[in-house]
Structure 1
Amino acid sequence: MIDLSFPPMLEDLRRTHGARDMDFEMYEAFEHPDETAWWYRLWTGNEEVDGSEFRFFGMEGSGGYTGLWLVREGRPLTEQPVVFLGSEGELAVMATDLGAFLWLVAQGHGPDEVMGWSDDGPCEPDPDALQVARRHAPDACRDPEEILGRAREEFPDFQGYIDAQCR
């Protein structure tokens, strides 16, 4: 049996997430690997990949996936980077870990805001998500620009990694 349950910090965010205007919906649990494989093969056009290096936990309105990229071998899920794979091939490393992602969401930055798609800028800070971030990741409190900058700096090859799998 595959354990698809969220780590406590992500489960707390799921229970409280309700950022007013954020286009981001969390799943009840991580997407099943069979569903990930089906979608990732379709998305990359490559029948030889299965997306097993990802644990998707949410999606935005146009169908882009948000999840963990299991690139830090042997490290817990909470220490894996959070990535976005858009429905039209857009890509972003959103945060270096789940703690930083909590702070992004708490400060009104979901996938649309990270990609620059929101005409109005970030959503209003979410007081419930702020409580979750303070409780689970007090040391990760940084402004969104710093969170995104650290993610891009630490994982500059994400685009190349994905491009190498696409057909």
Structure 2
Amino acid sequence: MTHPPDDVFARVSQLLGKRSDDPAVVAFHAARGLKPPPIVTKLDMLYDVRDQEAGFTLNYQAEVLLPGCYPPRREGGKYVAYLASVDFRPSFTGRIAGELDVGLPEAQARTLAQQFEDGSWSTPMYRGHVVRREAGQEVVFLYDPDDDSFAEVQLQLVQLAEDDPALAQLASDAKASEPTPAPRQFPRRGRKAPGNEPLPAPLAALFELQGSDGLGEIDLEVLSEIEAGGPAAWTGNKAAEHELRVFAQDGSGGLVAFWIVQHDDGAARPLADQPVVFLGSEGERGAVASDLADFLHLLAAGIGPYEVVEYGSTEGESPQPAIAALAEQFFPARGQREASAIIVDAQRDYADFADRLAALVKH
């Protein structure tokens, strides 16, 4: 389907600053045949959705420095995200701000930018010129300093400066209104930390699969048993051994473990019922799956623990039918589970893992 490009700028201008789940935003994606607005699980990432046909990209993020958006917050396991900017590439044929186009010579863009005190700027990558700024939005033309060619146009929100005192006040107000979470129940600490122990049957089968058919492109090595020592080495705290059971690692040395926080009448549930978490070699930390069944379904989608914690990734991976068969064999009642739902559920229910791990660290 071919879409007329001329009204795109006006339409996305009306959507700028709206939540990614706003009905108008969702309808715009659907009308243009784009993939749905992204599930945002990281603060320091820009999540883009490209319209290859028309030559523009919608950029979503959770950290928007404006009242009503700041500070970032979670709902249902994912961050509330906003359409923060739109990039228009040289192939875009519509009008920019109603009267300009991507062929605007830099000299004219520089002249238009003179009306703003900070209208022109330069970095090693781009020279930028603000040609419009109104209603909390600005239009910036970018040019490549290496060959003086046009690079792109950015339509973006005019946000507060990072050191603006208003942001600190917004964060303080939000913290004061947060409900107090129910305290976690952690394992009792005996005199001796737990030692190595056998893998649960589903993981033992995954270990055997790893040795025969492999796990595809997933960066994961299942260990031959539950290993002690890793959590203490990661945190510098022997007490961590009581709360974490390491059963796998990735190529960089990151640890994959059960977090022992599910209990019945004071007794810890079986390992298969505990959430799966990741402790990265570069300090990454976070929940991966709510239990072993969900973890297997995540692997079956071709997604490893690092990708979940670092990128919230659910796309572009190769499915692993053999792992899906293991999930069906050991957890038939669970049924099929979408990777996006697995990640959202885990990060909703175990969002406090990073804070707990920080409390355990004694380095």
How far is 1:8 from its partner? 1.1
**In 2: Cα distance, 1:72 partner to 1:122 partner:** 32
CA shift in 2, pair 1:30/1:42, >3 Å: closer
Which structure's residues are more often strand, by fraction?
A: 2
3-state DSSP class of the match of 1:114?
helix
Partner of 1:162: 357
Partner of 2:235: 44
How far is 1:2 from its partner? 5.6
Amino acid at match of 2:231: Y
Correspondence 1:7-156 to 2 at 5 A: 7-17=200-210, 18-31=214-227, 33=228, 36=229, 39-46=230-237, 49-73=239-263, 74-116=268-310, 122-138=316-332, 139-156=334-351
CA shift in 2, pair 1:86/1:122, >3 Å: farther
How far is 1:91 from its partner? 0.6
Asked whether the 8 Å contact 1:100–1:140 carries over to 2, the reply is no
Asked whether the 8 Å contact 2:247–2:257 carries over to 1, the reply is yes
CA shift in 2, pair 1:116/1:50, >3 Å: closer
CA shift in 2, pair 1:41/1:55, >3 Å: closer
**In 2: Cα distance, 1:49 partner to 1:16 partner:** 33
Asked whether the 8 Å contact 2:287–2:309 carries over to 1, the reply is no
Question: After alignment, is 106-115 or 128-137 more displaced?
Answer: 106-115
| Structure index of larger Rg | 2
Amino acid at match of 1:77: L
How far is 1:7 from its partner? 1.3
**In 2: Cα distance, 1:134 partner to 1:49 partner:** 35
How far is 1:99 from its partner? 0.4
Provide Cα deviations, 1:77-107, integer angstroms capped at 9, x if missing partner: 1100000000111011101100000100111
Aligned residue pairs: how many?
161
Structure 1 outlier segments of 4+, above 6 Å:
none
CA shift in 2, pair 1:140/1:30, >3 Å: farther
Q: TM-score, normalised on structure 2?
A: 0.41
3-state DSSP class of the match of 1:61?
coil
Provide Cα deviations, 1:106-138, integer angstroms capped at 9, x if missing partner: 11011232134699x553111210110111123
Amino acid at match of 1:115: V
3-state DSSP class of the match of 1:5?
coil
3-state DSSP class of the match of 1:84?
strand
- The root-mean-square deviation of aligned C-alpha atoms, in Å, is 2.4
Partner of 1:6: 199
Aligned residues: percent identity?
35
CA shift in 2, pair 1:97/1:45, >3 Å: same
How far is 1:54 from its partner? 1.0
**In 2: Cα distance, 1:166 partner to 1:116 partner:** 20
- Which consecutive residues of structure 2, in runs of 5 or more, have no partner in the other structure? 1-193
How far is 1:49 from its partner? 3.0
Which structure's residues are more often helix, by fraction?
A: 1
Q: Which has the higher contact order (CA 8 A, sep 6+)?
A: 1
Partner of 2:4: none
CA shift in 2, pair 1:92/1:118, >3 Å: closer
